[in-house]
Structure 1
Amino acid sequence: MALIRHQLSPPPSLPSSRSHPPPNHHFPKPYLFVFSKNLRLFSLYSAPPTPSSLSSAPIFLPFLQNQEEEDEDKNETEEETEEPPALEEDEEEEEDPDDPILRFFKSRTSTQDPEREGKFSLQKNRRSAWRLADGTHLADESEPETGVKKLLGEQKQVGPIKFGSNASPEGIVQEILQKARTLPQNLTLGEALGGFEGRVGEKECVKILEVMGEEGLLVGCLYFFEWMGLQEPSLVTPRACSVLFPMLGRAGMGDKLMILFRNLPAKKEFWDVHVYNAAISGLMCSKRYDDAWKVYETMEANNTLPDHVTCSIMITVMRKVGRSAKDSWQFFERMNRKGVRWSQEVLGALIKSFCDEGLKREALIIQVEMEKKGVSSNAIVYNTLMDAFCNSNQVEEAEGLFAEMKSKGIKPTAATFNVLMSAYSRKMEPEIVEKLLVEMQDMGLKPNVKSYTCLISAYGRQKKMSDMAADAFLRMKKVGIRPTSHSYTALIHAFSVSGWHEKAYIAFENMQKEGLKPSIETYTALLDAFRRAGDAQMLMKIWKLMIKEKIVGTKVTYNTLLDGFAKQGHYVEARDVISEFGNVGLQPTVMTYNMLMNAYARGGQHSKLPQLLKEMAALKLKPDSVTYSTMIYAYVRVRDFRRAFFYHKQMVKNGQVPDARSYEKLRSILDVKAARKNKKDKSAILGIINSKMGLLKVKKKGKKDEFWKNKNKRYVRTDNSE
């Protein structure tokens, strides 16, 4: 399968729909995302781009317009001109011929595609043969998400930032830690350290913060940090800040982090890039993206040069706040002009931004160009790319990346296998998931809870295989892996599909006994089990439990609940579910009203169906074939064929004729139950529907016999003779 690495023909231009950042985000205009008409050219190659090339045209992003080639003289004059000042804030953004990403792809030196880099090495599909490549080796996992954990891990290795030393604290450190662990409720740690003035140094303070953070004593860390600042001289150091800030962010204490950051000593040593990185990463972990931008603005105002960790964190923040991949690339280009070195973290953040927008081909191009500049891809980059292709149901392309990854000697992780397992689980191919699990173990990797959850889900999506799903669940517990909420949800769904609603409820109770909080997906799967069983009482019980636990349902949840009540004719409860739609901000759809009509019809309230039809018209919902069929069946049950034929006519008039199979069933019912006096009317309606659906067959004219001329006269004579 040839794709992706080859150069693409330029697509037609599309107007950019990217809007400017909302006013609540703090983007400094002189620094970020100011589109200039004549930005400096930037290439991933040291040599300038050649005007003539032996290969095909350059590659552009889908939303950028391909410019016509200009004269060499014009290009030279543009390069010599000075960079004009930035545009005003209120100036509308036009299509920029010097767009950063456009210039990146235009600046690509035309070279032949490498043998293995240039194309996917697609081997036989797993359906026909499991082994993709011979003589390749695999290994461990990490989330396909590039950001927080990896970035904080980078902070551990860069500069003075260190988390979690294995050395056991001794001496004065042990005394303070013991006081922090056994602190009375009416006493703060700062008050308890009255006799430690002058006995603690800066290194000991950092060590204490690290250990207290590992033990979850975050409030104690805050009081101890305050005590450090009150000492003479102050024990607060940049390294202590670099240790404390990420821990506060991971604990969701971003407000406390900002207070500490704003009150840092006004000394130049605290303008260190590692302090800023720790603050930005902590704020990103606590989802305080506006404050992260403020810290970055302060960093630029103080002329602190960012590094590759800053770049990768900020690109991740941009993705979190909804900035486009184009903006991320422009920010990366600006960081490059500041001298920020390229790294795997920056590459991973960029790849993730492009993949989240569905720009998988462009992400692959950036990967290849970065590798040519010496930035090799790691397992996280490949996991991100594979996950993007699997989410687009392009599993073969993901398999190709998996083979390419192994051919380059990159060790797959457990996340790599989980990405493929999840894809084949959605395709309902548990045999392949089992083989992936075995291969994963052969490579020395331990399957985690996500691996087994994929296996449970793969079995559970198919009927009559819930016993295999339960077996996979028991295998997971046998190897010592604790199930999660997702694991139990997959098991409950498996029991639901197979009609084992009692076992589904037992699994739900076991989940609560283990201290796991059911998610909305868990409740939806449980409701579906009792919907299939037709147990309206249990549906009401589960719904009341959701209300008690303050679980807000989704549209799928309420539709499942509504359908369960409708099939049992509980129209009052069905109405209550519809009213709940408005309380959670959901709007009823045509399918919602179809199920509500079914509830009224089965509950013997067929006289109110026309009123529901008027409600749909008021909400500007157009009835479909299911709507009309539901009403026709309702009137056929009570032998009101006049109304049944009327809505037949309405259905045909509005062009909402059902499919052939549904109509055949409807016609057979009418043929059996219709009254004889309505036979003529029924035949006319059926003829209209037949012709509308193309079911009316043209009768072939047969060979006329010798009596055809006198056929009618013969009947007349017979009558006269009588």
Structure 2
Amino acid sequence: MESSLQLHTHFLTPIKPKTHTKPFTVRCSSNTNTNTNSKKQVGFVDYDKGERQVSILVPGYKNSDLPKHIRTRVQSDRFQKDWAVSEVVSKILKLNQHDDIVGLLNRWAGRFTQKNYPILIREISQTGSLEHSNQVFKWMKNQKNYCANNDIYNMMIRLHARHNQTDQARGLFFEMQKWRCKPDAETYNALISAHGRAGQWRWATNIMEDMLRAAIPPTRSTYNNLIHACGSSGNWKEALKVSKKMTENGVGPDLVTHNIILSAFKTGSQYSKALSYYKLMKGTNIRPDTTTLNIVIHCLSKLGHFEKAINIFHSMRNKRSQCDPDIVTFTSIIHLYSASGQIENCKAVFDTMVSEGFKPNIISYNALLGAYASRGMDKDAITVFNDIKKNGLRPDVVSYTSLINAYGKSQQPEKSLEVFNKMKKNNLKPNLVTYNALIDAFGSNGFLPEAVNMLHEMETNGVEPNIVTISTLLAGCGRFGKKVKIDSILDAADLRGIRLNTVAYNSAIGSYMNIGECDKALDLYKSMKEKNVKRDSVTFNVLISGCSKMSKYTEAVDFFNEMMDSNINISNEVYSSMISVYSKQGQLVEAESLFLKMKMTCGGPDVIAYTAMLHAYSTAEKWENAFAVFQEMEMKGVQPDLIACSALMRAFNKGNQPDKVFVVAEFMQDRKIPMNDSIYYEMLSACSILQDWRKTVDLIGLMEPSFNTMSVGLLNQLLHWVGKLGKTETMMKVFYKIVATGAEISNSTYSVLLKNLLAAQNWRKYLEVMEWMEDSGIEPSFDTYQNILAFAQSSGREFSVVIQDRVECLRRKSMPIKSQQMR
């Protein structure tokens, strides 16, 4: 349309708007056909505003084409309008479905010729408005000069097919025969397409058989529609049968046929078969198009062949494949990068799509939004969500569900609920995926009652829970140790007839193991075997690791042997769990053998496996072997974490190599690996072995920012070590800093202080600390009093009297507090 406009306006000299007080516009039209049924291109250019527009005008049969006696009558009636068909359609669409459309049509002079009826139906059906088209069709059938024909019915059947109105389309098929219109190939094609869109492939097959019985030879379009009907329902085997029959009947497949079959494989999750078919397709003379390559990219992504999919994408962009990428291509690549965890590339592809002139649709926005949501990047997700609205699109159920998921993974379940309520307020009905996302947001963050309540709400609203719902709830129970909830959720699944699958069994078994219910976990595993539910590496890993935590090492080894006998692929997690089991039993040789076997697998050991081996060598007090494993870990490019560093430090301390502990600490600081209590404990142990006060001072400075998060045991160990060195003043300063951070101070902490103060014969500070205990509501023990009184007897007479008086005063002070507590 644009090119036609340019052909008719190239002679115009652009005029600057400065010379005009009114907008300067140019209108032009193009009509290469003088037939009254032809379409005309009408162009409009406004140089002042810099706007242009091209529209299509369908004149139809007008007043001048009517018989003379009718034309004379129409011209004398001022209410009759000589509108073009396009004008009639435009006026109808402006009316609501309940307005007087019949009155409008009765004012149209073109209704007096039946030749206008097919043109009118064609134009209004192309707008996609089903209600307006039905009213026009109903009015048309009531006209005296109306004559039914196949074209009108075919167009109406196709329109109902677009709106998934299958029963109505079938009704039109029978109605046209009552009007003595014999269905043709186009009619059957439209009806097959209608049932294909509705996923009713058996109906589509029956219609094809009716077509053959009516002696109407199927066209290529007929076969394509039937193949699409089978394929869109996921019945790829039936689609192949139709394709074979198509070739046998002498109708060769075209590019559309091949794309439909590829799409059938895609819908049926037969990704490998789709790629094999694509290779065969390339051996023919039919060249793939953008749709073909989009399907191939999707299948490669699902199979994890990301690099091959990216190469096809680059070849499309570089014009090597002679198929330009479209918005579907870019969206598929966004999904690919999201699945591979490369979120930065998702945004880069989205920006590239926009820069190349594509206007993102809601599916593209949802792909980017889903990528951010999968990683819990809630701020980026809400930015994309707001961009959807800014660009004139309306967020759909998928958009809101992704945002719920984003807040859930970022540990903000309350915001997930806000989004859920906002979604319902905007008249969007939550689906099963939405409810599952909200249940996961609650369950994964410890809000199990809210998660269970959401299960009841979804059932109340007519949404049936599925196995994903049950698995999500079970995983939440195991994560937060809710024993009662596990039993009730399993009962709920049984009551609703939901059969547990592998994932659900794994979640339930793992949940029982996490709360120490080994017997119930084993009973559930027996039930899993009895019901022939497939067991995988995750099943055995939760059993092995769970038994190991409860020191049931024999059972763990039995499960490992059972796994090998069942020829189930051993995952890295299982290897690591078994190395840990052998290590705890002192079976270093078995642990080393398993670690060596793991090295020969395609993946090789990961950080968890290396850490398990570090623990094994640490337990066996072989620091040289532990250090060698750590160096190998570095050489293989496996980034050590704080658990691995802690295990190596423990090996060094056990091997009397405390200096090396501080080398590991420097390594952690260089790599910005955060430190925790176990790291500080090993460093404190190294200071104790070295008897190095300077390193102790440095360690205190390193630990100070984390005093408020450290365990009481570690803080007590620090105070004890400083006091043991005779540095009581420093010990008290550290204590003051601990108190200032708001850290928890227990009776054991005061005991450490008192013991070291008494050893340093600092009885004044000893009594002062006892007063602090009284003020804090912590009653000094009997031994605390006895120790200071024994010290008083061994000291001079002058100090003995003072100490005894202070102690007696403290006892009297504690009596009212004790009696109040007894009440």
Same fold (TM over 0.5): yes
Within 2, Cα distance between the matches of 1:605 and 1:376?
61
Match of 1:652 among 557, 560, 571: 557
> What secondary structure is seen at the aligned counterpart in 2 of 1:506?
helix
Please show how residues 625-636 of structure 1 align to structure 2 within 5 Å: 626-627=542-543, 630=546
Are 1:495 and 1:529, in contact at CA under 8 Å, matched by a contact in 2?
A: yes
Highest CA radius of gyration, 1 or 2?
A: 2
- Structure 2 partner of 1:417: 330
Task: Select 2:374's aligned residue among 450, 457, 461.
Answer: 461
Task: Provide the identity percentage.
Answer: 21
Query: Which residue in 2 is equivalent to 1:352?
Result: 263
**1:394 and 2:305 correspond:** yes
Q: Distance in 1 between matches of 2:492 and 2:132?
A: 44
Instruction: Give 2:291's aligned residue.
Output: 380
Whole-angstrom distance in 2 between the partners of 1:502 and 1:451: 27
**Cα deviations across residues 14-37 of structure 1 (Å, max 9, x unaligned)?**
xxxxxxxxxxxxxxxxxxxxxxxx
Partners of 2:265 and 2:273 within 8 A in 1: yes
Displacement, 1:493?
2.1
- How big is the shift at 1:384? 2.0
SS at match of 1:270: coil
Q: Is the 8 Å Cα contact of residues 316 and 349 (structure 1) preserved in structure 2?
A: yes
Counterpart pick for 2:351 among 438, 445, 451: 438
Give 5+ residue unaligned stretches, structure 2: 1-36, 39-54, 61-80, 564-572, 596-612, 622-823
> 1:584 and 1:234, CA in 2 relative to 1: closer, same or farther beyond 3 A?
farther
The amino acid of 1:519's aligned partner reads N
CA contact (8 A) 1:190 1:227 kept: yes
Q: Which of 138, 149, 157 is the aligned partner of 1:237?
A: 149
Residue type of the alignment partner of 1:368: K
Which amino acid in the other structure matches residue 274 of structure 1? E
1:535 aligns with 2:535: no
Aligned position for 1:333? 247
Q: Give the SS at the match of 2:164.
A: coil
Of residues 475-484 and 386-395 in structure 1, the stretch that sits farther from structure 2 once superposed is 475-484
Residues 205-284 of structure 1 aligned to structure 2 (within 5 Å): 205-207=117-119, 209-210=121-122, 213=125, 218=130, 221=133, 225=137, 235-265=147-177, 270-284=182-196
Deviates more, 1:305-314 or 1:420-429: 305-314
Alpha-carbon distance in structure 2 between the residues aligned to 1:277 and 1:620 = 45
1:285 equivalenced with 2:190 (yes/no): no
Map of 2:282 onto structure 1: 368
1:54-93 C-alpha deviation (Å, 9 max, x unpaired): xxxxxxxxxxxxxxxxxxxxxxxxxxxxxxxxxxxxxxxx
Question: Pairwise mapping of residues 547-566 of structure 1 onto structure 2 (< 5 A)?
Answer: 547-566=459-478
Shift of 1:423: 0.7
Question: Secondary structure of the equivalent of 2:444?
Answer: helix
Amino acid at match of 1:304: I
Distance (Å, rounded) in 2 between the aligned partners of 1:264 and 1:606:
70
Per-residue CA deviation, residues 143-170 of structure 1 (Å, 9 max, x unaligned), is: xxxxxxxxxxxxxxxx99xxx9875997
- Aligned residue pairs total 506
Deviation at 1:529, TM superposition (A): 1.9
Letter in 1 for 2:292: V
Deviation at 1:436, TM superposition (A): 1.7
What is the deviation of 1:239? 1.1
Distance (Å, rounded) in 2 between the aligned partners of 1:305 and 1:457: 47
Separation of aligned partners in 2, 1:599 and 1:350: 44
1:118-133 alignment, distance < 5 Å: none
Give the conservation status (yes or no) of the 8 Å contact 2:544–2:578: no
- Deviation of 1:241 (Å): 1.1
* CA–CA distance in structure 1, aligned partners of residues 420 and 294 of structure 2: 33
How much has 1:392 moved relative to structure 2? 1.9
Q: How far has the Cα of 1:581 moved from its partner? A: 2.5
Output the CA distance in 2 between the equivalents of 1:211 and 1:583.
Answer: 54
The SS at the match of 2:182 is: helix
Instruction: Output the CA distance in 2 between the equivalents of 1:281 and 1:592.
Output: 39
Instruction: Trace 1:566-715 onto structure 2 (pairs within 5 A).
Output: 566-582=478-494, 585-589=497-501, 592=504, 595-596=507-508, 619=531, 624=540, 626-627=542-543, 630=546, 647-654=552-559, 655=561, 659=574, 661-662=576-577
Contact 1:379 1:410 in 2 (8 A): yes
The match for 1:491 among 399, 403, 427 is: 403
Equivalent pair of 2:160/2:194 in contact (CA under 8 Å):
yes
CA deviation string 1:628-683 (max 9, x = no partner): 654775xxxxxxxxxx66x5444434436994655687899xx9xxxxxxxxxxx7
The alpha-carbon distance between structure 1 residues 296 and 190, as it changes in their structure 2 partners (threshold 3 A), is farther
Counterpart residue number, 2:8 = none
TM-score by length of 1: 0.59
TM, length-normalised to structure 2: 0.52
CA shift, 1:571, in A, is: 3.7
Helix, strand or coil for the counterpart of 1:359?
A: helix
Q: In structure 1, what residue type is equivalent to 2:309?
A: A
RMSD, aligned CA:
4.7
Higher RCO, 1 vs 2 (CA within 8 Å, ≥6 residues apart): 1
Structure 1 residues 268 and 346, CA gap change in structure 2 (3 angstroms)? farther
**Structure 1's 392 and 584: CA in aligned 2 closer, same or farther, altered over 3 A?**
farther
Once residues 488 and 214 of structure 2 are traced to their aligned partners in structure 1, the CA distance between those partners, rounded to angstroms, is: 59
- Greater helix fraction, Structure 1 or Structure 2: 2
Change (3 A) 1:171 1:559: farther
**What's the CA shift string for 1:372-393, capped at 9, x where partnerless?**
3xx4433222222222222222
- Aligned-pair distance for 1:607? 8.2
2:398 maps to 1:482:
no
> For residues 154-195 of structure 1, what are the alpha-carbon distances to aligned partners after superposition, in whole Å with 9 as ceiling and x for unaligned?
xxxxx99xxx9875997698599869966779x9x9999999
Q: Distance in 2 between the 1:177 and 1:421 partners?
A: 42
**CA displacement 1:211-230 (0-9 Å, x = unmatched):** 66577764675576566557
Question: Following the alignment from structure 1 to structure 2, what is the Cα–Cα distance between the partners of residues 380 and 300?
Answer: 31
Structure 1's 229 and 546: CA in aligned 2 closer, same or farther, altered over 3 A? same
**Matching residue within 503, 511, 525 for 2:437:** 525
Q: Give the aligned residue type for 2:542.
A: V
Q: Which runs of 5+ in 1 are unaligned?
A: 1-158, 634-643, 672-682, 701-722
1:295–1:619: structure 2 CA closer, same or farther, 3 Å change rule? closer
Residue 419 of structure 1 and its aligned partner are, at CA, apart by 1.3
